[in-house]
Structure 1
């Protein structure tokens, strides 16, 4: 069922910001909670008028001016001195519903994420913690923020005593976990700190962290037996423990050990050293007995348990550690609380390389022992203060004034934006280069479901190959998501770290590994590839595209990499060499024979072909109609990647380089996926569709040339099908970020076929209007959306990535007031300051970064130096851009009603453009908007106010374009 509504009406649903309660009624419009996972239901508009897109007619459908702040029942922690902006950070936002964030302690882009675990598997527990579960099974040291698949949760620590024997058992003995109940009013969290009262044991648990060390503080009551469990066998979702080891080092009051695991991240290694500030009374060990399938206690004289498979850093004391017998190792570390209560502080340092040397044998510190020095001579409170100050420094680069509820959502969104791109190298620059996952198999099969080969491959973060560490090696690149806004935000706030991200990408591409055949036999060594979806040294092959390319182009176009390399002291020759190597890595990935999925077919055809195949059930209980999932999406995204490569070649070399012409022309391959209606009987003209190997578009009239099967359905853009990644033809229609003017011109060409008087951009604008006003019926079967399509306004999905840029596209047709309304509408349905306050997977800060840019008033539709003007949220926003400069955005008269730009000035001069450049931001300046509750249709409407045309190369349909286009 479809129905139409106008844009301003969407913008005022649930007020101009989605903080109203459930099931409110406004003008007979039933409003569900914006994060309930449901689309807005069909509307009974009654006799009252609905505000038109212009917003300039009398209308009762006006935004609420209320400013509620929702009480989540969470106590705000005691503030430390200097918590100017971090006091607004609420890490519980996004821990409910689909956000999949975690509330625990970490530092910006830190290696350690020390956070609570409920102890359960499943979609809700991807991050280890689900707000609507009131149980805790401990605190593990690694977590994924906002992901849609599960892994990590390494080294689980849980304090217990004799007051309770409460266990969580999720159906497997390996998940029999000592646990406790808690209440949210006894739970606190802010940037770098977490606290909870474990009610079953009357123990208070507190967590903080440095970059590579998790710091625990447990306050025990008097009890006859108090212990801290260190669990190396704990696993969730796709992850499983392949090897574990724990040793009690009595002489130094510490534990050492490791956890090796397989799963989404193949062949992951986590080595650890754990020191305690109170004397250990005793350590007992337990392990999972594979024969009885139960946890059993090890003999009392054991001082270690597990195996040493994969480690060359220490030797076994005896022969007890045969691999396979003493697995899923746990240590129960006992402290003396028989006479009085006790507070225990513990520091656990991680390393991907080794437990390392502790310095006692005159060898230099290394591995986890070296990383432990981050917190040397510091107690819990000092580490917490350091973590808070790190966040304060970062988040304080942007100072906003205005709505208090917005500020909490804003600073939490900024916080979430820096939980990915995690540190992977030790303090000495060494890191573990793991098994290559899908890349290791020529047929591209995933590695999970069987144990991956263990390798010992320690590398050095050395970009100029002089044998010395020079950059921080980062990992956890969810690039299909984050290239859109997370890295562009970092380009403004943390450019040096972003440059190190790109150097990390280069190291990924240049590191050799040995691929395997289908029987896991080693073949000839080969180079890697630029990251696609990586973490812990592994390429997972998740999602699609070559989305290192927009990040690389971004740092090249903005001069970020040059500045960083100069700061590192690289010579000009070394700098030129590094940039040339980046170009080579991009070009190699984009040509036939690389490890990139379907790139050979794309290079051969200009599109990734699809065909029917035997029916296979998918995760949603339906069936996939195409042999190769997401083929239309692959083609569109590879075309954008080609543009990034061409533009990078032009920057590093010049446009005379033959590779520039090659990839500039390939950047127009998006048109090969566009059915603009060459045949009279073509259904649904002017849309992107899947194509077969013969070039035929797959729709109602298509027959498989191999099997003779027909599609069987009349293709429609609102149908969810596997031609498009996690979406439909509507949501991927505008996925030509690198050539939006080209798409507009092609739409005009379609329009002229039936209307000789068609105006340039008219059909593009009409398509946008229909996109925002055509709602799907979730119960209509073939157009039913999957779970990650949430936060809907019409066909727009704010809870997933493909169309996050679409609210800004009215700027390309001279209707920026509709962009302003669309942005407000998208905000309403996705964000608030509750645990359910992110309407989809945050994907390492992607939905959060969208909110940050939205609030500031501009957004990066495409990689590079251009940002589109939107609608600002705060009265003032000041961005520290370095060198003593600030970029200031002032929005006079802004409110929840006043979302429309009336006029603007930049550095005191009239400003009518709907875009900014990166240099204009980074040089500092004053951008001043005057806001109102009705649109000014003249502001930003002129042709020279539109964002510039970025299309390059040979336009495929140039001969048939209307006069004046392209």
Structure 2
């Protein structure tokens, strides 16, 4: 498996909702006045953004980087239901405890809980006919979502459902109607419920106490052989619990149950109390560990206390960046983006430090260490992890150490797209190397870089992995021998560049030079005749039938990963100067870059839907394009970057459920907006360099940690002013169009003066243009 499309096998389901531009759900959360957000930035978050279109976001309860994502599921199949929820639906299947945020593939949805009244049913029923099963209709006007809390009225049952969460536990509050239905109150727990069809390999279910359930399951979906466990407790003791295996009732006394399709229905007499709380601990280790997590984090039943605590956690995270603006739309987009960028990576250890490794074994962390999962690395190495190095520096060592443990313990080696103790192998490259190298180059401590380097070099120099043998031997990957050959080569070039930084940091100068030189392999793909990056055959000839709009030169497989030659031609992040030279020098490069944006936005029929948000052939809706508009700066025309970036911020993001052009991708689509709106972007994140774009807000303050602060001020006469006239850095005139991480890590103040017309002098001198292909230790 390489790309997200190869996993899902098409996007027929996605097309059914792609045209829906729903606005009703956006009214669910009345947006507060800007003054309300000073001490309560959680009030500024519109969680509904990204729940429509192809955003693949869920609206439920989670704390920053938490293991639990307790959220409603409306459907469990099709591309636009990768998170289990889509705004186009009108019925809810129930509430499960784990969800993916904005991914292009689906999985998780562990341990569905659904309350009901009347006749109990053990299948969910269809969206077309909810009465077939335990589904319930709902209305978006009776749905509410805020950071750490979700509620909805289940109309078919008259039940008010509320959800909140801690890091490893979820707390439900179900208020049943005070009528005859209360005598038939029940709660269904469905262990078969999962993304896709029949993905449960094995499951277990039993009742460790009269008011509790416990069990677990092994699933084979996106993550093959993923293990998840739970312990669940009810605030009221059920009058009885009926168990089902393969949808047939099991005689009492036969538990613990094992099988592939296990469910149960717990019945309650609510005559004296119409409210039932359900609290659930989860674990990747065992049901017993899940019970320990429940005991450690949620010993009581105080729903409002847990809700307040979750909101406090979010306020702490969201207050790490404060913005000043009169534009309410921009504010809503920004704080929704910061919220989404703070959901993953997700915690994946237990309260006692145990976790399930990529070798399927149970391990124990060192005291104070934490383990994480859900690293969408092909996406997030670009801007999300650089954002964490600014506002969540305390998490960076744990993120990197988690990746090192995975690289050491996984049979697959360096992490590519790890998910809860499994390696999905999704997407090209192995960009855990970039995340490790960025932390190394930016000087983060508490990380064993020698261990990281050993893992990196094994992949770079030894592993016969997805064309790397060809890459090492031939300096390119032949398109007739390996799929997605051009994109793979470009990705390996950046990973070589990343590892070269670590090699230099550790004093391995020969390795650093070799890897840096090898990172220029991308140049072997540029055809001077067409002036495009073009697939090449094993015999060294150009592949025939080349068309820069196509995904490949043959129907056997694609030559590019979720892109075509137009986007891939500009897909170099570390050697912009070399790319400019390769494409014929500054004048020719600038003409080619303009041409990219000015092309018709047409794609062939087999283009994946990930290529979205088109401006010409530039695709804001997918990650390979995210750095491209900043390349004008390297060619001495930063004003064109300023114009393009402002246009993209204004047109590609909206304060609507379908306000994202592409998948959220565990924070990257939002991180592009966060970084760009502050006025800079990490084109080459490992280098530690940030390239100026244009600030969207009047003032931004970033809390860097340890009392340090980065302040960005934009002076302008009109809100539309977008062109940099001048810059001061800590009060001194500043002519460069970039800066390095080390210049701000101890605090800084950057002031922009913006105007309505370009300043054709700023950032155009050779000495003011950002460096590229320069190895240095920050």
TM-score (norm. length: structure 1): 0.74
Give the structure 2 partner of residue 630 of structure 1.
484
Does 2:474 correspond to 1:589? no
- Is the 8 Å Cα contact of residues 717 and 730 (structure 1) preserved in structure 2? yes
Deviations 1:300-351 (Å, cap 9, x if unpaired)? x2373522xxxxxxxxxxxxxxxx4xx42112122212x3551111110001
- Is the 8 Å Cα contact of residues 392 and 704 (structure 2) preserved in structure 1? no
Q: 1:647 aligns with which of 501, 520, 529?
A: 501
Give the structure 2 partner of residue 736 of structure 1.
572
* C-alpha separation in 2, matches of 1:396 and 1:670: 41
Deviations 1:692-718 (Å, cap 9, x if unpaired)? 11221213xxxxxxxxxxxxx3x2322
Does 2:580 correspond to 1:696? no
Give the structure 2 partner of residue 889 of structure 1.
712
Q: 1:788 aligns with which of 610, 613, 634?
A: 610
Give the structure 2 partner of residue 445 of structure 1.
none
Does 2:534 correspond to 1:717? no
Give the structure 2 partner of residue 396 of structure 1.
319
Give the structure 2 partner of residue 250 of structure 1.
209
- Is the 8 Å Cα contact of residues 32 and 43 (structure 2) preserved in structure 1? no
Give the CA deviation at 1:637: 1.1
Does 2:223 correspond to 1:265? yes
Give the structure 1 partner of residue 3 of structure 2.
none
Distance 1:813 1:121, change over 3 A: same
Give the CA deviation at 1:669: 0.8
Deviations 1:348-401 (Å, cap 9, x if unpaired)? 000111122xxxxxxxxx454235411223511111111111111011011101
Does 2:91 correspond to 1:135? yes
Does 2:495 correspond to 1:672? no
Give the structure 1 partner of residue 597 of structure 2.
772
Q: 1:559 aligns with which of 443, 466, 471?
A: 443
Give the structure 1 partner of residue 249 of structure 2.
297
Give the CA deviation at 1:605: 0.8
- Is the 8 Å Cα contact of residues 76 and 194 (structure 2) preserved in structure 1? no
Deviations 1:530-573 (Å, cap 9, x if unpaired)? 1001101111111110201110111001111x1xx2xxxxxxxx
Q: 1:534 aligns with which of 418, 428, 443?
A: 418
Does 2:763 correspond to 1:940? yes
Give the structure 2 partner of residue 306 of structure 1.
257
Give the structure 1 partner of residue 649 of structure 2.
827
Does 2:311 correspond to 1:424? no
Give the CA deviation at 1:629: 2.2
* C-alpha separation in 1, matches of 2:515 and 2:273: 68
* C-alpha separation in 2, matches of 1:78 and 1:220: 30
Distance 1:107 1:771, change over 3 A: same
Give the structure 1 partner of residue 135 of structure 2.
179
Distance 1:89 1:894, change over 3 A: farther
Give the structure 2 partner of residue 12 of structure 1.
none
* C-alpha separation in 1, matches of 2:579 and 2:775: 13
Distance 1:870 1:232, change over 3 A: same
Deviations 1:10-54 (Å, cap 9, x if unpaired)? xxxxxxxxxxxxxxxxxxxxxxxxx9968xxxxxxxxxxxxxxxx
- Is the 8 Å Cα contact of residues 121 and 237 (structure 1) preserved in structure 2? yes
Q: 1:929 aligns with which of 738, 752, 759?
A: 752
Deviations 1:268-303 (Å, cap 9, x if unpaired)? 111111122223222111221xxxxxx22222x237
* C-alpha separation in 1, matches of 2:543 and 2:274: 69
- Is the 8 Å Cα contact of residues 665 and 952 (structure 1) preserved in structure 2? no
* C-alpha separation in 1, matches of 2:145 and 2:127: 31
Distance 1:71 1:433, change over 3 A: closer
Does 2:48 correspond to 1:92? yes
Does 2:484 correspond to 1:662? no
* C-alpha separation in 2, matches of 1:257 and 1:78: 42
Q: How does 1:856-895 map to 2 (within 5 A)?
A: 856-863=678-685, 864-893=687-716
Distance 1:767 1:952, change over 3 A: farther
Distance 1:805 1:37, change over 3 A: farther
Give the CA deviation at 1:237: 2.0
Give the structure 2 partner of residue 56 of structure 1.
none
Distance 1:886 1:770, change over 3 A: same
Give the CA deviation at 1:490: 0.6
Give the structure 1 partner of residue 624 of structure 2.
802
Give the structure 2 partner of residue 705 of structure 1.
none
**Secondary structure at 1:496's aligned position in 2?**
coil
Q: 2:281 aligns with which of 344, 349, 353?
A: 349
Give the CA deviation at 1:469: 3.9
* C-alpha separation in 1, matches of 2:154 and 2:328: 32
Distance 1:218 1:934, change over 3 A: same
Give the CA deviation at 1:433: 2.1
Distance 1:108 1:894, change over 3 A: farther
Does 2:19 correspond to 1:115? no
Does 2:467 correspond to 1:598? yes
Give the gaps of 5 or more residues in structure 1. Answer: 1-34, 39-68, 289-294, 308-323, 357-365, 436-454, 462-467, 514-527, 566-574, 612-626, 677-681, 700-712, 749-759, 954-966
* C-alpha separation in 2, matches of 1:866 and 1:741: 15
More helix by share: 2
- Is the 8 Å Cα contact of residues 126 and 133 (structure 2) preserved in structure 1? no
- Is the 8 Å Cα contact of residues 98 and 836 (structure 1) preserved in structure 2? yes
Does 2:713 correspond to 1:909? no
**Secondary structure at 1:732's aligned position in 2?**
helix
Give the CA deviation at 1:691: 1.1
Give the structure 1 partner of residue 583 of structure 2.
747
**Secondary structure at 1:844's aligned position in 2?**
helix
**Secondary structure at 1:143's aligned position in 2?**
coil
Aligned residues: 746
Give the CA deviation at 1:134: 1.1
* C-alpha separation in 1, matches of 2:485 and 2:434: 20
**Secondary structure at 1:898's aligned position in 2?**
coil
Deviations 1:902-953 (Å, cap 9, x if unpaired)? 2221221112211121122222122111222222222222222211132569
Does 2:192 correspond to 1:233? yes
Does 2:411 correspond to 1:459? no
* C-alpha separation in 1, matches of 2:338 and 2:198: 29
Give the structure 2 partner of residue 818 of structure 1.
640
* C-alpha separation in 2, matches of 1:419 and 1:73: 23
* C-alpha separation in 2, matches of 1:608 and 1:718: 20
Does 2:441 correspond to 1:487? no
Give the gaps of 5 or more residues in structure 2. Answer: 1-15, 553-557
* C-alpha separation in 2, matches of 1:505 and 1:475: 9
Give the structure 2 partner of residue 51 of structure 1.
none
Give the structure 2 partner of residue 569 of structure 1.
none
* C-alpha separation in 1, matches of 2:625 and 2:717: 26
TM-score (norm. length: structure 2): 0.91
**Secondary structure at 1:731's aligned position in 2?**
helix
